Amino acid sequence: MTDALLHFEDFPVGEVVTYGSYKLTREAILAFAREYDPQPFHLDEEAAKDTLLSGLAASGWHACAILMRLNCDGFLSNSTSMGAPGIDEVKWLAPLRPDVTLSVRRTALEARTSKSRPELGFVKFLFELIADEKAVVATQVCSIMFGRRQAP
Amino acid sequence: MTDALLHFEDFPVGEVVTYGSYKLTREAILAFAREYDPQPFHLDEEAAKDTLLSGLAASGWHACAILMRLNCDGFLSNSTSMGAPGIDEVKWLAPLRPDVTLSVRRTALEARTSKSRPELGFVKFLFELIADEKAVVATQVCSIMFGRRQAP
């Protein structure tokens, strides 16, 4: 792993950064829903009107997938990331509508080195998925493994 | 909502059911990864060999999306589901490889009626995503809203 890549030490706890720009179209909402989440409120404007979402909205899993893409492009692809063992929490706070532009606000919550594998460390992040630079539509908390610059 | 649909009362706590059959191809793994999670271990067999996954494996978000599809086909599309406010937890336990067939084991963990909206109730489920009827590759815990048969 080259020094130019982001390592465990490059995510100080408390740091907040924003990045990304992902235009979400109605067609993309429908395509994802047809494949993975064919519930009426993700597929059909008319059917969605009478639901809790009050109109067509993207699958929550589509929101998660887009957040992943924004994180890859925003920092993971330029890092020593070894992935994550899971997700601590996802909240879908507001309907994700067609024709919004999505970005991410990332907060480093905690950092800890691995005892069993001292060459890596975990950083716990809060990711907020933001529509049109205004509304937080979803949040996610997860811990990502990174290589350490100074492994003991 | 018709009586034929599954309601809140139709998911007794402790019930365990299995369902679904989803054949995951290498092409589908690559297509999802290209769009949403372009990390080397989801895209390239050679690059994946030297990672913690020890070979090509699907994005964890692809696993979540397939689980959603299996749940729609398995029971949600035949229910009064109004979606979920979020996810309590996801664990990716084992690499999800090409050419496995996925199914779901669902356990009803808790059930509670809504105080603010007495016409609905929440059922908390554990979903286990199972490859080739053997290995649990991912688990998910979440609470889904359903209409009640006997609203006060």
Query: What would the pLDDT profile of A58-116 be if each residue is shown by its tens digit?
Result: 999 999 999 999 999 999 999 999 999 999 999 999 999 999 999 999 999 999 999 99
Asked if B35 reaches chain A (Cβ–Cβ under 8 Å), the answer is: yes
Q: What is the pLDDT of residues B69-103, one digit of tens each?
A: 999 999 999 999 999 999 999 999 999 999 999 99
Separation CA B35–CA A27 (nearest Å): 14
CB distance A39–B85 less than 8 Å? no
The SS3 of residue A56 is coil
Global pTM reads 0.95
CB distance B66–A36 less than 8 Å? yes
CA-nearest residue to A67 within chain B is: B36
In a domain, A74, yes or no: yes
In a domain, B94, yes or no: yes
In a domain, A84, yes or no: yes
Predicted ipTM? 0.94
Query: Min CA distance, A132 vs chain B (Å)?
Result: 20
Separation CA A61–CA A36 (nearest Å): 8
User: Smallest Cβ distance to B61: which of A39, A68, A81?
Assistant: A68
Separation CA A17–CA A14 (nearest Å): 10
8 Å CB contact between B67 and B104: yes
**Host domain of residue B107:** 7-147
In a domain, A89, yes or no: yes
What order of strands is seen across the sheet that includes strand B16-24? A86-87, B89-92, B135-147, B120-131, B100-113, B16-24
In a domain, A58, yes or no: yes
CB distance B92–A76 less than 8 Å? no
Q: Which residues, at least 6 apart from B60, have a Cβ–Cβ distance to it below 8 Å?
A: A83, A84, A86, A87, B37, B90, B92, B96, B138
- The number of distinct structural domains making up chain A is 1
Asked if B68 reaches chain A (Cβ–Cβ under 8 Å), the answer is: yes
Asked if B51 reaches chain A (Cβ–Cβ under 8 Å), the answer is: yes
In a domain, B107, yes or no: yes
